[in-house]
Structures are given as structure tokens and as C-alpha cells.
């Protein structure tokens, strides 16, 4: 029988449900992805914007839409302790970007191309590809009305996925036209669904008059046949809207992007117009939407700004990384070039100085730490050197240091080979320690 503990151990704290720690070596995959994103955004002349994670709740009620799942049930909202102001952790970032654009008059001298990366928060049931804190990459083009910008934004996604080595991602498109066209379609939808009231589930009945377009988006299998037969918005588009849509399709094809039209792809909010699109995979189960976007020409006005055409998309980075894994891409974990072996603490000053010089020369260095805990054990230091993945051990032995030199020992190629290097000409030999990647 074990003894009873004298004092109660402090209770362990864990991360909040649906919110994940991203740890090494996994975090290296995130950095790799973020680097790819940044260089690609530069090639398309999109510039970074960083808005606060907390915004006033009203921004999302108006900017995301009162009748959306997000606002109806997914927001983390709270009141400011001092003045009671309703605040919300951002569930998405388009409203924040548009608020900032209006507040700082960003489009005063023409259109702006922006991108962001960061955490979003939605109170959903956690499952694979669906979390309560997740990361979105987003791109927004503000102040451009033409279909060529819709296409540019989709090319950006297409190219990013190609650069990441992703396969089998399809593009679905639709057009929502303009307000008058949607109103006519909406009336037809209400008429149609009203004739089949008994087939509508409770949610659809509730949305029938508030947001009938969203009924088309239902995932209820029992309603699929009904939804298939519903009037299609595409049949209500006028010449100008059809032309915008045709140009998008033609340009995508010209650039080698395959697409299909999905007449049921909708965003049930009135500030959306013209192009909507999704990038989808079948390899992640129900969480197959990697990226969703569209034109939101009405949003600036809704948030108190001047009428400004705009289009953008948001991408779930967990899902993208999940798909990369699923498709078998393995990232090499980052390793140091050199592991510093330190036989004796008296060598620490010269060791730390030398390592600083090596790092300044671009050599990735991991220093042995823990001399105070287990002084002297060379065997364990070499074991750690090996485990670090470094190509070389750099040994700061007493005798050699008296001659102003250190020993380099190969840990991989030509394993075991040793040579002495003078500390007087580090610059000459430092580059030979760098791995060529």
C-alpha cells in the first residue's frame, strides 16, 4: 500500500476544450506554412494588416450578420468589467478589417490589398478540423469592383495550395448577383418552401422569413431533395451580373484553374454580391471546406463607411495542415548545425562568446546545458549531441582552449572524424559547419 501524501498536490490545469497547444516539432510545420504564405503574399502585392482580437460585439452582429450560425450561437462574448461595453473575441476577421479600413480611411487613394493570419474563436463542438480557437489566413481586396480581382484572389489560393504540394482540391463557384436580383429570388424561395412547409425542419421553418437563402445550405439529409428542387438564384441574374460571373469563369479557365458551379453555394447575407467560392477537399471528412470567400460590396456601408466594393476569403490553417499530413508530406524537423560540448564549467565564458560569434556567422548552435546538474559526464553530453540531430559536436576542452582552439567532431558524415580549429580565425571555418539547406 502506498503512503498517503502529506499535502494535497495542486490540481493540474489544462487547456480550454477545443483550444490547442501547438508544440514542437509540430510548430515547425506552422512556421514553414507561414513563411510560404508571406512570400506568396509579397508576389501578389498583398500587405499585412493586424487588427485586435477583441472587437465590440456590434461589429459582428452587423458585419457577420444577426441570422448567421456565428452570431446566433458561436461567439465568445463578454462585458467590459468597467463600463459594461459588449465585447467579443473575433470569430472571423473580415468585419475587423473593414472597420479598420473605414476608421483609418485606408481606401482614400484607391484600392488596397491586405492579408492577415491569426486566431479566431467560435464556440462549436470540437472535432477533427473544427476547434474553438483556430487559425485563419485571410486576404481582402478593398475598393476594386472588377471580376479580375475576384480571380486574382482565387489564383492566390490556387497557387498557395500548389506551393504546399496539395492535391485534389476542387473549386466551387456561384454568383449571388445584386440586391434586386436576390430579392426576386428570395420571394420565389419563400413561395416554394411555403408550399412544402411539412418538409422543413425546425431550423428551416425559423429561417423561412428571416433568411431563406440559408435553407439551401442545410446539411439535413432529409431536406436534400427539397433543396435540390428549389428555385436557383442563377436564373434570376440580369445581364450585368451574368457578365461579371462569365468573366470570372473565363479568366479562371485561362489561368488553368478548374472550377464547377454549385448553385447552392450561398452566403445568406445581403451585403454579399456576385462571386462566392469555396476550395474543398474530400479527404478530411465533413470538415472539407478549406477556404471560403466572396464579394461583399455592401459591407462598408453597413458598417458606416462610404460605398466601397470589396472581395476576400478566409482559410482554415488547421485543415490545410491536416490535409498536408493526410497526403503524406513529411516535414523534416529543424535541427542545429552544431552541438556545443562543454567538459568543464570554467570554459563557459569563452564557450558562450564563441557560440555568439558562430551564430552571427549563421551557424545554428545548441549549447549543452545542465553542467550544474551532472558535471563532467562526457558520455551523456555526446548522447545529447547525437540526439539533437546536429552534424557536428564542438568540444570546448580545457587543454585545447589553453592553445586557443576547439575540437570539431563529425556526428553524421564521416562519423567520428576530429580536427582542431583555431579560435583566431572562426570566420574562415564557420561556414563549413553550416548545413546546405
Q: How many residues bind ligand ATP (CB under 6 A)?
A: 18
Of 55 and 337, which CB lies nearer to ligand ATP in the complex structure?
Answer: 55
Q: Is 261 helix (H, G, I), strand (E, B) or coil?
A: strand
- Strand (E) positions, 37-132? 47-48, 54-56, 77-79, 86-89, 112-121
122 near ligand ATP, rule: CB under 6 A:
yes
271 near ligand ATP, rule: CB under 6 A:
no
Of 57 and 133, which CB lies nearer to ligand ATP in the complex structure?
Answer: 133
Q: How far is the CB of 74 from ligand ATP (least distance, A)?
A: 8
Q: How far is the CB of 115 from ligand ATP (least distance, A)?
A: 14
Assign residue 110 a region: left if phi > 0, alpha if psi is -120 to 50, beta otherwise?
A: left
Starting from the edge strand earliest in sequence, which strands make up the sheet with 54-56, in order?
Answer: 54-56, 86-89, 77-79
280 phi and psi angles, rounded to 5 deg: -130, 145
> Quick one: which of 116, 134, 144, 245 contacts ligand ATP (CB under 6 A)?
134
290 near ligand ATP, rule: CB under 6 A:
yes
95 near ligand ATP, rule: CB under 6 A:
no
Q: Where are the alpha helices (DSSP H) in 45-178?
A: 57-60, 69, 94-103, 147-163
319 near ligand ATP, rule: CB under 6 A:
yes
Per-residue interface string for the shown chain with ligand ATP, residues 180-219, x marking contact by CB under 6 A: ----------------------------------------
Of 230 and 265, which CB lies nearer to ligand ATP in the complex structure?
Answer: 265
Residues 36, 123, 88, 154, CA torsion sign: positive
Of 265 and 341, which CB lies nearer to ligand ATP in the complex structure?
Answer: 265
Q: How far is the CB of 218 from ligand ATP (least distance, A)?
A: 12
Q: How far is the CB of 267 from ligand ATP (least distance, A)?
A: 8
Which residues lie closer than 8 Å to 145 by C-beta, 6 or more apart? Answer: 297, 309
* Rg, C-alpha atoms of the chain: 29
Task: Tell me which stretch binds ligand ATP (CB under 6 A): 144-152, 283-291, 388-396, 404-412.
Answer: 283-291
HSE-CB for 73 with a 13 A CA cutoff: 4
314 near ligand ATP, rule: CB under 6 A:
yes
Q: What is the spatial distance between Cα 278 and Cα 217, in angstroms, rounded to a whole number?
A: 13
124 near ligand ATP, rule: CB under 6 A:
yes
Task: Quote the cell numbers at residue 75.
Answer: 461567439
Task: Quote the cell numbers at residue 388.
Answer: 539533437
Residues 383, 389, 392, 397, CA torsion sign: negative
289 near ligand ATP, rule: CB under 6 A:
yes
Restricted to residues 136-175, the positions that interact with ligand ATP (CB under 6 A) are: 136
Residue numbers at the binding site for ligand ATP (CB under 6 A) = 92, 122, 124, 129-131, 134, 136, 287, 289-292, 314-316, 318-319
Amino acid at each position: 500500500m502506498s503512503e498517503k501524501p502529506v499535502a494535497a498536490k495542486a490540481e493540474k490545469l489544462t487547456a480550454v476544450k477545443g483550444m490547442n497547444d501547438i508544440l514542437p516539432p509540430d510548430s515547425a510545420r506552422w512556421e514553414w506554412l507561414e513563411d510560404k504564405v508571406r512570400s506568396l503574399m509579397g508576389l501578389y502585392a498583398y500587405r499585412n494588416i493586424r487588427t485586435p482580437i477583441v472587437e465590440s460585439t456590434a461589429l459582428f452582429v452587423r458585419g457577420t450578420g444577426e441570422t448567421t450560425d456565428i452570431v446566433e450561437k458561436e461567439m465568445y462574448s463578454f462585458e467590459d468589467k468597467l463600463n459594461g461595453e459588449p465585447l467579443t473575441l473575433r470569430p472571423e476577421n473580415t468585419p475587423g478589417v473593414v472597420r479598420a479600413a473605414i476608421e483609418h480611411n485606408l481606401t482614400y487613394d484607391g484600392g488596397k490589398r491586405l492579408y492577415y493570419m491569426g486566431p479566431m474563436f467560435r464556440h462549436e463542438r470540437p472535432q477533427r478540423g473544427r476547434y474553438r480557437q483556430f487559425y485563419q489566413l485571410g486576404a481582402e481586396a478593398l475598393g476594386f469592383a472588377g471580376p479580375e480581382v475576384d480571380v486574382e484572389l482565387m489564383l492566390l489560393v490556387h497557387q498557395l495550395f500548389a506551393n504546399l504540394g496539395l492535391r485534389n482540391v476542387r473549386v466551387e463557384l456561384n454568383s449571388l448577383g445584386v440586391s434586386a436580383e436576390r430579392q426576386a429570388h428570395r420571394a420565389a424561395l419563400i413561395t416554394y418552401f411555403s408550399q412544402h412547409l411539412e418538409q422543413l425542419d425546425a431550423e428551416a421553418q425559423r429561417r423561412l422569413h428571416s433568411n431563406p437563402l440559408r435553407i439551401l445550405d442545410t446539411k439535413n439529409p432529409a431536406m436534400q431533395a427539397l433543396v435540390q428542387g428549389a428555385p436557383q438564384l442563377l436564373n434570376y441574374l440580369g445581364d450585368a451580373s451574368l457578365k461579371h460571373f462569365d468573366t470570372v469563369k473565363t479568366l479562371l479557365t485561362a489561368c488553368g484553374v478548374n472550377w464547377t458551379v454549385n448553385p447552392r453555394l450561398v452566403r445568406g447575407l445581403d451585403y454579399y454580391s456576385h462571386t462566392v467560392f469555396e476550395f474543398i477537399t474530400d479527404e478530411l471528412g465533413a470538415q472539407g471546406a478549406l477556404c471560403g470567400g466572396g464579394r461583399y460590396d455592401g459591407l462598408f456601408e453597413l458598417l458606416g463607411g462610404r460605398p466601397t466594393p470589396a472581395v476576400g476569403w478566409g482559410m482554415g490553417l488547421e485543415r490545410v495542415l491536416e490535409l498536408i499530413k493526410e497526403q503524406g508530406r513529411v516535414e523534416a524537423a529543424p535541427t542545429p548545425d552544431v552541438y556545443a560540448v562543454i567538459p568543464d564549467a570554467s570554459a563557459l565564458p569563452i564557450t558562450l562568446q564563441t557560440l555568439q560569434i558562430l551564430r552571427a556567422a549563421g551557424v545554428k548552435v545548441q549549447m549543452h546545458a545542465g553542467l550544474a546538474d551532472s558535471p563532467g559526464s562526457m558520455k551523456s553530453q555526446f548522447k545529447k549531441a547525437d540526439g539533437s540531430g546536429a552534424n557536428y559536436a564542438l568540444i570546448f576542452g580545457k587543454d585545447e582552449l589553453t592553445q586557443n582552439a576547439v575540437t570539431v567532431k563529425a556526428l553524421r558524415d564521416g562519423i567520428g572524424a576530429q580536427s582542431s580549429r583555431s579560435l583566431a580565425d572562426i570566420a574562415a571555418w564557420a561556414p563549413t559547419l553550416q548545413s546546405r539547406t
